Amino acid sequence: MKTPYDLLLFDLDGTLSDPLVGIGRSINYALSHFGYAELPLSRLAVHVGPPLDQAFSSITGLRSSSALDGFVAKYRERYGEIGYSENVLYPGIPEVLHSLASAGITLAVCTSKRVDYAENILELFGLRSYFSFVCGGEIGTQKWQQIRGLLEKRAVSQSTVMVGDRAVDMSAAHRNGLRAAGVLWGYGSREELEAEQPRYLFSTPQELLGLVD
């Protein structure tokens, strides 16, 4: 198998695994602590992917960074203990990663999630060995800035493909001159992804093998 790309850079939430239960319950844990009503998981799905401070700002209407930091800290209190494990792999992902890695394709992860949480999830599912590195995010850092940092360190290049399920993944790739591949089994709609004009748009994990020849 060959590929014109030097590296496939995967998002985590909504791309490799479905984290809604753990994220949703941890958001509600923080909301309840600060006196806000808990929300059904169906209403929290939209917050899978973007940074946590943006999620809490959208839900509560708060803009103060110190107030939002409190919500994030409370969220992490539960998420770090149990929420990260309330997570399921999308069917077919382990097999596709195995095929890509076995063919010598270099893989990595870039997620808005804190790196230790991302590492724990990949270890939980026995996937960590497939990835050459894991880039995690911090509050106040956008995904395009994460990719910019990887470019500066020469960990990725403009021959890298960013694979993700949300518009933020596509726009972060394009802003840095990378190719983008959208996936439709996560939390971004077809309309959301098509608006960003990714090079590829995949309906099933098996279609990811189309990135290699």
The pLDDT value recorded for residue 3 is 80
Model confidence at 9: pLDDT above 80:
yes
- pLDDT, one tens digit per residue, over 14-54 is 999 999 999 999 999 999 999 999 999 999 999 998 889 99
- The reply to whether the predicted model has a pTM over 0.85 is yes
Percent of the chain whose pLDDT exceeds 70: 99
Q: Which residues pair with 135 in a beta bridge?
A: 110
Helix (H, G, I), strand (E, B) or coil at 54: helix
The pLDDT value recorded for residue 1 is 65
Residues 109 and 51: their CA atoms lie apart, in Å, by: 16
Model confidence at 124: pLDDT above 90:
yes
The pLDDT value recorded for residue 152 is 98
pLDDT class for 123, splitting at 50, 70, 90?
very high
Q: Smallest Cα–Cα separation from 10: which of 130, 103, 125?
A: 130
Calculate the average pLDDT of the chain: 96
Model confidence at 133: pLDDT above 90:
yes
Mean pLDDT within 193-206: 98
Q: What amino acid positions are annotated as catalytic residues?
A: 11
Mean pLDDT within 63-84: 96
